Structure 1
Amino acid sequence: MEQIHDTFAIEIAEYDEWQHRSRKNNFFELAYILDGKGFHSVNYVDYPYKENGIFLLPTAKCHQYIIKETTTFLFVRFTGNYFASNTNNQVDYSCWFNRLNFIMGNHNHLSGELIEDDDDKKQLKRLLDVILYEYSRKDICSSFIIQNTLVSVLAVICRNIQQRNWDGRTFNDEKFVDLLNFISFNILDAEKLSVKYLSQKFHISETYFSEYFKRNASERFQDYVLKSKLRIAQSRAKFSDTPIQEIALELGFTDSSHLNRIMKNHFGKGMREIRKEMQG
């Protein structure tokens, strides 16, 4: 795999037969089908793929491709380092770490294409074509262009997943939808998830905020945030090889024991049990 930047990597690979990929300590890869045919398989459920298909490939071995015609993939790998602050006078992407976790926690991880909305699919293809072009060009600006394009790639994916999550669910208050989106995309930022900050940002009385949230969501604000974090933790236990202690700290828990205890209270299973069941 060629490192285009020390915080992300892309690769073009041609396979006649699928090979499980070594992707230590990363969240997932996007797999963009440049040509070829076959099936995307998750837990023995197969979905056909063809040219221009876009799929999510987590670390877990339950995801694979059944190749019927020689297939060329463009892989875009995301790691935690990609979203860390940097000192190279480039954009600070630390806030996008939240979106990476949002994707992990809210995507269904079933077989099939990552994007269902036709317009979003076209938009994502255009962005991936930019990455492919810059990957081939490899000039002094290519790394910067790819890095910035990846920001847009994640935004399109998040938008599509959020739209899927809201399908069939309606809210009378548009401001409340904006509030939920803000919480989802800032789930790791304790300051931005404080009642004081949210009340000021969305022009809601701080003393009325808890009542406002419960009236619209039918659950307490604290419970909603906790369940969102646990959903991310559960997904990362299943579909990544990130150490559990690291997941716990990133999501704001005291340590892995604290996270395990709360996870068991809500799901009846701890993180290690969840990971063992999924990855063997």
Structure 2
Amino acid sequence: MDFLHDSFAVEIAEYDEWRERSRKSNFFELVYVLNGSGYQGVNHMQYPYTQNGIFLLPTAKCHYYKVKERTRFLFVRFTGNYFMPGPHDAVDYSSWFSRLNFIFGHHDYHPGELVEDPADKAQLKSLLDIILQEYKRQDICSAFIIQNTLVAVLAVICRNIQKKKLGSHRFTDSRFADLINFISFHITDLEKLSVSYLSQNFHIAETYFSEYFRRNANERFQDYVMKLRLKIAESRAIYTDAAMQDIALELGFTDSSHMNRMMKKYYGKGMREIRGANKMADR
């Protein structure tokens, strides 16, 4: 039975043989293998799973589990409301929206373990065990405890994706790695992504900033930021039912037409084409 909340849902399910589940959610689902073994399949690729395996997939993505040994799963489904502060919330969860954008912009959603670093995996397991305990308890404080624990879960996920993202890059200037991370986590904040703001906070002469960025990234600053926004827009179009206008405004575009023009300019396809192709693929 699901533990339902307006911003997330928690479910424990046990299978001898995998069967399709109702997985309607705005964003993505975190899967924690409590016990058992088998294979996770995503887009015709398979990856073995065992006890304590942790996976993250958009719920709209075509995936399944080939159960080898009877398996018990903990599923955590996130919704858009998770990142919107409620009237009585002590924590402003909208500030964590940047974590979601970072995951959308940089996670490849390939099959396999979400976390490879042993320390990160141990920490994530501990956090998921707390969620499991509160799922079983389900008292008046459980929703609050789970929601706050999910904040920490997202932080660990982001740190792991961040390590993978930067692992293939060798920056001669360590300051540039910090700059790239800052841009990724503040991609919707136009003020903080201005050249004047970045120059001041990263101690780079404003007149030199464009050349500095191009020299380290091998592309223009404006192009880098635009492509990252479009990557997030693409993920929102594929993995959510959000209106195009809402996606555009959240990501700093003038309107959905502006976002669509930029997508065609940089990637040669429009937003509705991206969403439509994905729906056809899932049939």
Shorter-chain TM-score above 0.5: yes
Number of residues paired by the alignment?
280
Q: Deviations over 1:36-88 (max 9, x none)?
A: 22211111111111211111121224222222333221111112211113321
Secondary structure of the corresponding residue to residue 64 of structure 2: strand
Within a 5 Å distance, the mapping from 1:179-194 to structure 2 comes to 179-194=179-194
Secondary structure in structure 1 of the residue aligned to 2:246 = helix
Q: 1:5 to 1:271 in 2, by over 3 A?
A: same
Structure 1 range deviating more: 146-155 or 6-15: 6-15
Report the equivalent of 1:212: 212
Residue in structure 2 matched with residue 14 of structure 1 by the alignment:
14
Q: 1:29: which partner in 2?
A: 29
Residues 42-81 of structure 1 aligned to structure 2 (within 5 Å): 42-81=42-81
Number of the residue aligned with 1:85: 85
When normalised by structure 1's length, the TM-score is 0.91
**Residues 250-274 of structure 1, C-alpha deviations (whole Å, 9 max, x = no match):** 2122332222221111111112222
1:113 paired to 2:117: no
Q: Equivalences for 1:1-280 in 2 at 5 Å?
A: 2-3=2-3, 5-280=5-280
Q: Matched residue of 2:93: which SS?
A: coil
In the aligned structure 2, how far is the partner of 1:233 from the partner of 1:194?
20
- For structure 2, the residue ranges without an aligned partner over 5 or more in a row are none
Q: Which secondary structure state, in structure 2, belongs to the residue aligned with residue 88 of structure 1?
A: coil
Which structure 1 residue ranges, 4+ long, deviate > 4 Å from structure 2?
none
Cα deviation, residue 225, structure 1? 0.7
Shift of 1:25: 4.7
How far is the alpha carbon of 1:140 from its aligned partner?
A: 3.6
8 Å Cα contact 2:26/2:239 also seen in 1: no
The 1:195/1:86 distance shift into structure 2, 3 A limit, reads farther
Q: CA deviation at 1:13?
A: 1.8
Identity of aligned residues (%): 66
Unmatched segments (≥5 aa) in structure 1: none
For 2:173 and 2:36, the matched residues in 1 are separated by: 46
Distance in 2, Cα, partners of 1:248 & 1:19: 36
Contact 1:85–1:93 under 8 Å retained in 2: yes
